[in-house]
Amino acid sequence: MKYRNPVIPGFYPDPSVCRVGEDFYLVNSSFEFFPGVPLYHSRDLVNWRQAGHVLTRESQLPLAGVRASGGIYAPTIREHAGRYYMITTNIGGWHTGAQNFIVHAQDPLGPWSEPVLLDQEGIDPSLFWDDDEACYYVGTHQGEKGSCIGQFQLDPDTGARLTETRPIWYGTGGKCPEGPHMYKIGGWYYLMIAEGGTEYGHMETIARSRQLWGPFESCPHNPILTHRNLMPGFDAMLDPDYVEFQGTGHADLVEDSAGGWWLVFHAIRPTQGQLHHIGRETMLAPVEWVDGWPVVNGGQLIQAVMEAKATPGARLDSQGFAAQGSFSVEEDFTQVQALPAGWAHLRGQKPGGCRFEQGLVLTAGEDSLDSPLGSPSFAGVRQRQFLAFVETELLPQPEAQAGLTVFHTHQHHYDLTLVQRDGQRAALLRKRVCDMVTESALVPLPGEGPVTLQIHSDKQGYRFFAKAQGQEPVLVGQGLSQLLSTEVMAGTFTGCFFGLFCQGQPGAQARFSRFTCRYSGEESGGPAPQ
Ligand code: 6LW
């Protein structure tokens, strides 16, 4: 089977996966965005569809006051004895440093329980059940010799701690040993972790022991996955051996129903040198076991087109490519009463901030897209690919400043905004990068009817167009993608969104009738049925 990486493109980092029968469920980190923890479903590991979110209520996911790239860190999903468990950390959400918690459900599509809070510091928690049904927590920990992976036994339904936390592995010497998962395979306990930091030195390493508490013996060919020695910054035009992925790591292992093994992990696609702006994306690679150790993709680098033994559910075309769904979005807001899976708000929505009434009605509140800890009136989808065409149609009230944004953080966003100046309606592009703000010239938009706004994007950047009814689109301005990159912001864990927003005078409204986001280069040309 051939398939394309990333299997879930855009800001979908820290993947964790479990299989129950023929169904795979995968979760990702979501940070300051609400709802939290996107939940994906697949029957073949390559064709993924977002089924919803795990954390859908404020009681599960308090995000008020959470800074950008705080909130929900790396989750783990597991099934045990017919019950699904998702364990994760909310950084800052309970105004404690980092709160680890578990939610559980009989059906992964929900509803999920209220959070069961744990008294354990650290991030990247994972759960493991031993053969005797005892359940263990592994996560990052501070041991006597520094950062390590710690483990304790707990009751996953009540959160009760049953043992002290003990360090079990310090890793191979890379910084930030994190993202651990424990597995029991062929009589061995395997502890797989990420090291090197989530940036360009990222890697995945593994160790094994005959005993749950160790001592753990490091795999002789660690790291089992890394692109840390690749030279970023050259592209396919210049370098025939170009590999577009960097920062590979933070992995989870899963076995398909035919006994094939797979690794899900994340990677980034830098566009210019060491700059990436659409986040860490979910990837897939085949795994073989050699002498009791996993070998990822035959020890080769991870490519955009992969070749592996087909998963049981995969449907192949005549060239051997597995069907993979399109991530394009086409919404007619006049026909729905709620935002479909895939849409997100910033730290939730103020009551009435986002409702449906002959379209999506966004109401301005006190917060704007510039508010560092705010919940502006905002709804967006993650940017999945570089080549995109985005379009919306809206009718704002005169007191509103509403439009279409490319949003990464409150300090990094480009906003195509409809404004009223001297009684005239006009569009302008407002760009915020760190503490610099620029505004384009006003483009007048005659008439009173709805306005169409567009973004055309490629690797290098975004061009913004506005169009009054019956007119041709007019270029309002443009912005470089590199200034919206994670690295320009001195590190985020998130990626760019295409979003709708309404700010200005509190109470002012804008009605959006539709939203389109089409990606070129998606070979399958439409959602692949599962
Ligand atoms: C996550 C850590 C990491 O908790 O980045 O890449 C952190 N790995 O494991 C935030 O996603």
pLDDT over 90 (residue 236) = no
Q: How confident is the model at residue 526 (pLDDT cuts 50, 70, 90)?
A: very low
Q: What is the pLDDT of residues 32-77, one digit of tens each?
A: 999 999 999 999 999 999 999 999 999 999 999 999 999 999 999 9
Q: Does the Cβ of 69 fall within 6 Å of ligand 1?
A: no
Mutate to test the pocket of ligand 1, among 11, 27, 28, 29 (most ligand atoms within 8 A of CB): 29
pLDDT over 60 (residue 364) = yes
Q: How confident is the model at residue 525 (pLDDT cuts 50, 70, 90)?
A: very low
Q: How far apart are CA 44 and CA 473, in angstroms?
A: 42
Is the bond leading into 6 cis (omega within 30 degrees of zero)?
Answer: yes
Q: Does the Cβ of 478 fall within 6 Å of ligand 1?
A: no
Predicted pLDDT at 243? 83
Q: What is the pLDDT of residues 84-119, one digit of tens each?
A: 999 999 999 876 689 999 999 999 999 999 999 999
Cβ count within 10 A of residue 468: 20
pLDDT over 90 (residue 367) = yes
The pair phi, psi for residue 82, each rounded to 5°, is 80, 0
Predicted pLDDT at 468? 96
Say which residue the tokens 């506005």 belong to.
Answer: 466
Q: How far apart are CA 37 and CA 49, in angstroms?
A: 14
Q: How far is the CA of 32 from the centre of ligand 1 (A)?
A: 14
Name, in order, each residue with C-beta under 8 angstroms of 74's C-beta and a sequence gap of 6 or more. Answer: 13, 14, 16, 29, 88, 89, 123, 124, 178, 179, 250
Q: Does the Cβ of 199 fall within 6 Å of ligand 1?
A: no
pLDDT over 90 (residue 350) = no
Q: What is the pLDDT of residues 299-324, one digit of tens each?
A: 999 999 999 999 999 999 999 999 99
Query: Taking a C-beta distance cutoff of 8 angstroms, is the pair 103, 112 a contact?
Result: yes
Q: How far is the CA of 496 from the centre of ligand 1 (A)?
A: 17
Mutate to test the pocket of ligand 1, among 16, 250, 492 (most ligand atoms within 8 A of CB): 250
Nearest alpha carbon to residue 36 among 348, 407, 340: 348
Chain mean pLDDT for the chain: 95
What integer is the mean pLDDT of 126-153?
Answer: 98
Three-state secondary-structure class, residue 161: strand
Among the atoms of ligand 1, which is closest to the Cα of residue 140?
A: 9
Q: How far is the CA of 13 from the centre of ligand 1 (A)?
A: 8
Residue type at 277? Answer: H
What integer is the mean pLDDT of 451-460?
Answer: 96
Output the CA torsion sign for 86, 92, 94, 99. Answer: positive
Q: Does the Cβ of 268 fall within 6 Å of ligand 1?
A: no
Alpha-carbon Rg for the chain, nearest whole angstrom, is 23
Among the atoms of ligand 1, which is closest to the Cα of residue 179?
A: 9
What does the CA dihedral 87, 90, 94, 98 come to, rounded to 10 degrees? 100
CA-nearest residue, atom 10 of ligand 1: 73
14 is catalytic: yes
Nearest alpha carbon to residue 346 among 67, 10, 109: 67
Local structure of residue 271 (DSSP, 8 states): S
Q: How far is the CA of 491 from the centre of ligand 1 (A)?
A: 12
Strand-pair partners of 417? 403, 428
Local structure of residue 133 (DSSP, 8 states): S
79 is catalytic: no
Q: How confident is the model at residue 234 (pLDDT cuts 50, 70, 90)?
A: low
Q: What is the pLDDT of residues 10-32, one digit of tens each?
A: 999 999 999 999 999 999 999 99
Say which residue the tokens 């950062």 belong to.
Answer: 147
Question: Which has the higher per-residue pLDDT, 520 or 529?
Answer: 520
pLDDT over 90 (residue 278) = yes
Q: In 165-290, where do the E strands start and end?
A: 166-169, 178-185, 188-195, 203-209, 217-218, 225-226, 246-255, 261-268, 281-290
Q: How far apart are CA 64 and CA 71, in angstroms?
A: 9
Q: How far is the CA of 197 from the centre of ligand 1 (A)?
A: 8
The gap from C-alpha 486 to its chain's centroid, in whole angstroms, comes to: 14
Predicted pLDDT at 523? 42
Q: How far is the CA of 125 from the centre of ligand 1 (A)?
A: 11
Among the atoms of ligand 1, which is closest to the Cα of residue 178?
A: 9
Instruction: Take residue 236 and report the two structure tokens written for it.
Output: 């396919």
The gap from C-alpha 433 to its chain's centroid, in whole angstroms, comes to: 22
Predicted pLDDT at 169? 98
Mutate to test the pocket of ligand 1, among 11, 30, 178, 266 (most ligand atoms within 8 A of CB): 178
Catalytic one among 32, 178, 204, 391? 178
Query: Taking a C-beta distance cutoff of 8 angstroms, is the pair 65, 92 a contact?
Result: yes
Q: Does the Cβ of 179 fall within 6 Å of ligand 1?
A: yes
Mutate to test the pocket of ligand 1, among 124, 265, 283 (most ligand atoms within 8 A of CB): 124
Predicted pLDDT at 323? 96
Predicted pLDDT at 239? 72
Query: Taking a C-beta distance cutoff of 8 angstroms, is the pair 254, 284 a contact?
Result: no
- Please give the full DSSP string across 301-367, using - where no structure is assigned: PP-SEEE-PPPTT--B-TTSBBP-----EEEEGGG-SSPPTT-BEES---TTSEEESSSEEEE--S-
Q: How far is the CA of 29 from the centre of ligand 1 (A)?
A: 8
Predicted pLDDT at 97? 80
CA-nearest residue, atom 8 of ligand 1: 198
Name, in order, each residue with C-beta under 8 angstroms of 241's C-beta and a sequence gap of 6 or more. Answer: none
